[in-house]
Each structure stands twice: as C-alpha cells, then as structure tokens.
Amino acid sequence: MLETDYDIKKMTSFRIGGKIARMYFPASIEEFVEIIEKEPDAFVGGNFSNILVSSDGYDGAVICTKRIDTIKFDGNIVTAGAGVRGTKLSKLALEKELSGLEFMIAFPGSVGGEVFMNAGAHGQMIADVLKSARVYCPDKGVVTLNNSDMEFSYRTSICQRKPYSVLEAEFVLISSTKDNIQERMDENLSFRQNKQPSLTLPNCGSTFRNPEGDSAGRLLDEAGVKGLKIGGAHVWENHANFIINDGDATSLDILSLMDEMHSRVKDKFNIELKPEVRYLGGKNEKEVEICRKLNLI
C-alpha cells in the first residue's frame, strides 16, 4: 500500500514530523521485496519509536514494516515479523509460559527495530535470545543470518553498519512459570515507570547510548542539562538522558537540544556521546549541520 504526502507526525513517539513524499506499508516480506527493488534508496522503519523525523518532511520513499506482523510459536521457538510490537510479543510469551522476552514488556518499538539496535534492558537483550533473523540485503535479497552473523554488541548489530533491513526474527525461549515471568515483568514495569517518562509525554526513549563503563544519564546530569529547554522541548527533570516534546517542539528544537547536551558532556568530560535516536530528513540545512556533528547522518 502506497500513500503520498503522508503526515507522519502522529505516528512517531516524539509526535514530530512533516510529510513523507512516498510512504509504503507492505503486509508481507514478499511485498517488502517488491517495493524495495522499485525504491532501492527507501528508508526502512517500523513504529518510529526512536526516529526523529524532520518537521520539514522527507522527499524520498519510506517503507514502514508495521504490517509485517505474523507470530508463530513452535515449542520454545517463536518467530515474529518485524512489525510485531515488543510488548505484545512478551505478553504472548507469558501466556505460553516462556521466559526470555520480559525485558520487552514496556518497549514502544517493534521487533525489527529492536533486533536492528540489539535493544535491551534489565540485564536482558536481543542478542541473548535471538536464534536467527531474516534480513533484506541489497546484493543478495532476503537471507537468514544466525546470531553470530548479526555481530551484536551494545545497542548495535551488523544492520547498523550495512544496508540490511530486518524482516523477521526467530527467538529461543525457555520454559518457566507464569508467576515467575509475571514477577520479572512487574519489576521491569515498575523500574521503567519510576525511572523513565511515560509515553504520554512525547519522547523517543534514551537520547544517547551509554559510553563503555559509564552512564550517559550520569554524565548528562553532572553536565547540568536537566530541565534545559530549547523551543518546545526540554530535558526531563527526572532523568537527564530523556528529551520531552512539550507539545509544539520542532525537529530542530530536538536536535539543538541534543547538540547542547552533547557539547556540555564533551566540554566537561571529553567524552563524545553517541545518539541512540535516528534521524530522517535532510531539507533543513541547520538540521543537517547538527546531524553531521552528532554523526546522525
């Protein structure tokens, strides 16, 4: 399905974004391949939970995988399409008395994005449970990569270093009791509710990755960015690694705030924080300038 001049603002977690020239919503892997062969330069996204889309929009093509959402359980193996919400998958695993996906319980994103970035929390991460992933490679088409092929490390995978798109993932879980799984989920939910902003406050999750052996939140806190405001955006008062859209923020407001946060940590600690947020845009010269500085493009 193709929509032109698609208004993406309501779809993004930041509630920011202009119009997308060509927005595709394939409902299967086969449809995805058909579209991307026609639009080889298309940007691929899922639920846009950690993507900042420019308020000026995007002139190219975007493929959204949220409709590739099949789920299949086979014993302790679960196969999920890229568009399956992590929260939904963790709840279904609970019903099957299978443990391993408890960390996904409050994730706003989908399987494709979570595999792409090796998402994790509470001592668990995608690399711990992924058996294999079906990905689209421009030179080979759809191929299956096993866990080691994915080259997982902290918040990264091979898909961030090569133009690969995650279409489906296969996870190996372990049997447990509903009570044990639910207890762990409740602990995770409690932690997130106390330490991270609710999605009713438009935000994109953690703004920067933790540098090795340290915490981005600690560095940002000591750099004095809590409560810092630019335009319609501010750094959350309860945790310095979250940016909140107060309702009328633009993408330039967010990027300018990220730039200031990054600069303060660099000046104080000589540490270059790496963004966890991704960017889609390119029309606004000031945005492009900041994105280049932050290595977002």
Annotated catalytic residue, options 114, 168, 170, 276: 276
Q: Is 206 a catalytic residue?
A: yes
287 and 281 in contact (C-beta within 8 Å)? yes
Our answer to whether residue 155 is catalytic in this structure is yes
Phi, psi of 263 (to 5 degrees): -65, -40
The two three-digit tokens of residue 53, written as one number: 């889309």
276 part of the active site: yes
Which positions ≥6 away from 166 have C-beta within 8 Å? Answer: 82, 111, 112, 113, 115, 116, 133, 134, 135, 159
CB count, 10 Å around CB of 143?
13
Name the catalytic one among 206, 264, 278, 287. 206
Pairing relationship of beta strands 278-280 and 51-53 according to DSSP bridges = parallel
Catalytic residue among 22, 85, 134, 155: 155
Q: How far is Cα 139 from Cα 222, in angstroms, rounded to an integer?
A: 46
Helix (H, G, I), strand (E, B) or coil at 1: coil
Catalytic residues: 155, 206, 276
